[in-house]
Amino acid sequence: MLPRVVILDRDGVINRDRDDYVKSAAQWEPEKGAIEAIAKLRALGCWVGIATNQSGLARGLFSSADLDAMHQKLRGLVRAHGHEINAIAHCFHLPDAGCLCRKPETGLLHQLQTAYGKSFVSRETCMVGDSHKDLLAAAAFGIPAVLVRTGKGRLTEKHQAIKNPVFDSLKHWVDSLA
């Protein structure tokens, strides 16, 4: 069933993840087929939001302007395919900050739900991530999730007891919908 709302993690799902953090728009490189997959979701009528932990801000590895430039690059690539991303929510806190927005907490999902303008309905919503934190956040929020093997996905699949559907990439998941 095609979801009405799709929540995507960013690093490792949409773009290539780096152990030393993606710190600039120049370093931000999309995963193969991810931009086209987002455009296809939008063409199918899905509302698409992005929930991303970005502790590199708090670590001083990049600035808010750098993060904005990365997101503008992402938005521009999707726009070049004739579509828009509906909303992006990010957490800039360190992992031990105890905030409510950093996944696996649900604050980013609440922010996206506010941007959507109404409650996410479980059977009409899906989150796509590459880490256990993404899956836990979705479960805590009461929405289904899928794991992709890009980014940290293969390690997550190997080291966690995953009960969620697993796909090779965002593109493979989107292709399975239509």
Is 68 in the active site?
no
Instruction: Kindly give, in sequence order, each residue whose CB lies less than 8 Å from that of residue 57, ignoring residues fewer than 6 positions away.
Output: 63, 64, 67, 92
pLDDT digits (tens, 9 = 90+) for 88-112: 999 999 999 999 999 999 999 999 9
Neighbours of 65 (CB within 10 A): 8
Residue 130 assigned as binding residue: yes
What is the pTM (predicted TM-score) of this model? 0.96
Q: How confident is the model at residue 161 (pLDDT cuts 50, 70, 90)?
A: confident
pLDDT digits (tens, 9 = 90+) for 34-83: 999 999 999 999 999 999 999 999 999 999 999 999 999 999 999 999 99
Residue 99 assigned as binding residue: yes
pLDDT at residue 41, as a whole number: 98
Domain count of the fold of the chain: 1
| Dist CA 36 CA 129 (whole Å) | 17
Residue 168 assigned as binding residue: no
Cβ(145)–Cβ(126) under 8 Å? yes
Cβ(52)–Cβ(89) under 8 Å? yes
The CATH number linked to 119 is 3.40.50.1000
Is 9 in the active site?
yes
- Give the domain extent around 114: 5-177
Residue 17 assigned as binding residue: no
Identify the sign of the CA torsion 132, 138, 140, 142: negative
